[in-house]
Amino acid sequence: MAKKKEKKNALDRPQLGDGVEILSAGEVLENTITDTLEINYMPYAMSVIVSRALPEIDGFKPAHRKLLYTMYGMGLLKGNKTKSANIVGSTMHLNPHGDAAIYETMVRMSRGNESLLVPLVDSKGNFGKAYSRDMAYAAARYTEAKLDPVCEELFRDIDKDTVDFAPNYDGTTTEPTLLPVTFPTILANNTLGIAVGMASNICSFNLAELCNATIAMMKDENCDLSTIMPAPDFVGGGTLLYDAAEMQNVYENGRGSIRVRANWAYDKVNNCIDIRQIPSTTTVEAIMDKITELVKLGKIREISDMRDETDLNGLKLTIDLKRGQDPDKLMARLYKATPLEDSFACNFNLLIAGQPKVLGVRTILKEWIAFRADCVRRRTYYDLQGKQKRMHLLKGLEAILLDIDKAIHIVRETAEEAEVVPNLMIGFGIDEVQADYVAEIRLRHLNREYILKRTAEIEELEKAIEDLKDILERPVRIRKIMMAELTEVAKKYGKPRRCAILYDLPQDDGLEEAEQVPDYPVTLFYTRDGYFKKITPQSLRMSGEQKLKDGDEIVYTQDTTNAVELLFFTNKCQVYKTRAADFADTKASVLGDYVATRLGMEEGEVPIFMALTTDYKGHMLFFFQNGKCAKVLLESYQTKQNRKKLLKAYSDKEPLACILQMEEEAELAIYTTGNRLLLAGSALIPAKATRDTAGVNVVNLKKNQQLAKVKPAASLELADAHRYRVRTLPAAGALIRPEDTVEQLTL
């Protein structure tokens, strides 16, 4: 019975099709989240960091290195250009991430795209532009490319064991783990990489300055780099705003922010500003979008038109000015409000021996010098081995010079081919390698002239071998070789700086906001339905009847100036702050601006009162239907941050009856629905600093009565004003006599 039961339990377990038992099937295994992350996520994160996103000491990420080495193997350093599609296809032997990613990598390295200060790919065709978001590059089947001549410095002596090689992803070929670059490419071109949990953003430096700074570092590790290489250089040009503290942080720690602004020129004939260089961190479209936004918001009024005139001669952004505008003041404002002045956030994070490290410029140069010295040492050792091998062969050839006939006799008299080399070794006292070399010499070369020419190299080889050994034994000589190579690179490929340096930073390029607003007389009109008009006196004199929406009427008219600030109180207890200058001058024949839409109010929100101020002096009076009044200081709505919208502009506990703005204390006429009127000075109402205060009682209301409206008493003509005047609040007021009734009171 026990055996049968055991057999039944075994059959109940899940089985594979071939009868193999599945172990632990259906069981829930407990595991900590930290272990799961370590097992599943950490390998991916480390792969991105080490093998994809961060550059190494040679200045390249794996994708760039694979592409350049493929082009080098295709003979595109000296040969003619080939279709980009051919390059992309060949690169997939080393980089399996897809043709689109490979081609995009090549585009950014091309001369035509203008992304790099030292371009590495000589391109033909449309490769787009780094400074334009919309100028897309053509497909790979249309464009052509080859390596730029400067790439000769990237692959120099790569076949002399200067760097290590590793198998590619499928083991069919090998690729270099680093390139034996003869100059610090890590700092010659800008590099952006986003890994997992870390990123890298390295700016570019002028090639000639960089080479000279590296030479100075070899002579003195503590030299002042800023005197030789004062600041980065960007491919887009522009003007770099020099900050000594930030630059010191970049040079020593690899972090800091570098501000660059566009270069411009004023065309007096056409009254326009021409921008030819912009920061490399932005695009023409981003600048135009921001300027357009500022113009629509009314913050910039000096511009009449703007267009992108970029052509084959390069970037050109033209801004047309209105008559009489100051271009210097406009550009100062645009620098502050648009990407015409942008910052490059430095984060010099790179891989050193497989470990990500954030290093300053000085430390990076030290690491590169050590890397390049190792490349030169390995190259020298490779040359030494080659010359020693050649020397060894020539020594064997020299031995048979004594008796060529004997060598011929040995070869001729040897019965078996396999015995030729051993017999030559015995006959002349040479080793197998030398004997094999002699045996392979053609019959036509077995003459004294040929042999004397070959053996004449022995003396030169001896000197060369001694020189190579001396290089390996003396690090000073290795550094001299590196300095000579850097000097040659600077002389051959160095170019003047593209980015100018501005040392004297302006303290405040722009003007104060109030000074930027053109101030001139205007008349403001505000209607019951929320339409706003701003009309100049000259236009108003020439205008006819005001155009209004059907059923609408003007409820507020005020002569003021263009610099006045406007406060629109809404039915949702909020206030929107703007300026008269933010609205365009208009005419009486138009409806005007609908305030709710113009200020971006919420759905169902409408303005119910407009207040004007230039200095935020005076009070706002909020009268509620329950007979209370909240007297709020107008300065309570003034903010240092120039906020455009304030919440809790007034109390929402009771329905609102009326809003008044009082610049000075005055007598008020307060009406109730019980046909009562009271005259009271606004000074009797205490002021509050809190905007949403519930207020104080000003009217004693009888049952089912409410406060109806309030208006300045100076506008009334009463037969007996003393009848309604009160000295203290709250008060009930007096019934309105027939002769004092001016209008029917309604809610």
The model's pLDDT over 180-205, given as tens digits with 9 standing for 90+, comes to 999 999 999 999 999 888 999 999 99
Token pair 């464009």 in the structure block, residue:
143
d(CA 490, CA 212): 8
- What letter represents residue 439's amino acid? A
Q: What is the structure's pLDDT at 23?
A: 63
Q: What average pLDDT does this structure show over 88-109?
A: 93
> In this structure, what token pair is assigned to residue 356?
């990500």
Q: At residue 59, does pLDDT exceed 80?
A: yes
Residues 6+ apart with CB under 8 A from 467: none
> In this structure, what token pair is assigned to residue 85?
């599609």
Residue 573, phi-psi category: left (phi > 0), alpha (psi -120 to 50), beta (remainder): left
Taking residue 79's Cβ as centre, other Cβ atoms within 10 Å add up to: 10
For the stretch 546-568, pLDDT in tens is 889 888 898 889 899 888 999 99
Which of 144, 139, 179 is closest to 159 using CA atoms? Answer: 179
- What letter represents residue 563's amino acid? A
| Residue 98 buriedness (CB in 10 A; 0-12 / 13-18 / 19+) | exposed
Q: What is the structure's pLDDT at 26?
A: 66
d(CA 22, CA 465): 68
| pTM of the predicted model as reported, rounded to 2 decimal places | 0.69
Which of 609, 608, 615, 645 is closest to 633 using CA atoms? Answer: 615
443 confidence band (pLDDT: 50, 70, 90): confident
Domains, in order of start, for the chain? 60-180 (3.90.199.10), 263-339 (3.30.1360.40), 366-493 (1.10.268.10)
237 confidence band (pLDDT: 50, 70, 90): very high
Single out the catalytic residue among 44, 142, 169, 616: 142
- Is residue 451 within 8 A of residue 404, CB to CB? The reply is yes
Write phi, then psi, for 307 (nearest 5 degrees).
Answer: -155, 155
- Is residue 55 within 8 A of residue 354, CB to CB? The reply is no
Taking residue 363's Cβ as centre, other Cβ atoms within 10 Å add up to: 17
Question: What are the Cα distances from residue 679, in Å, to 620, 624, 664, 722?
Answer: 18, 17, 16, 8
Q: What is the structure's pLDDT at 442?
A: 80
Q: At residue 413, does pLDDT exceed 90?
A: no
Residues 6+ apart with CB under 8 A from 386: none
Q: What average pLDDT does this structure show over 324-329?
A: 89
Write phi, then psi, for 661 (nearest 5 degrees).
Answer: -110, 125
Which of 364, 349, 271, 274 is closest to 310 using CA atoms? Answer: 274
**Is 650 labeled as catalytic in the residue annotation?**
no
* H or E element at residue 484: helix 475-493
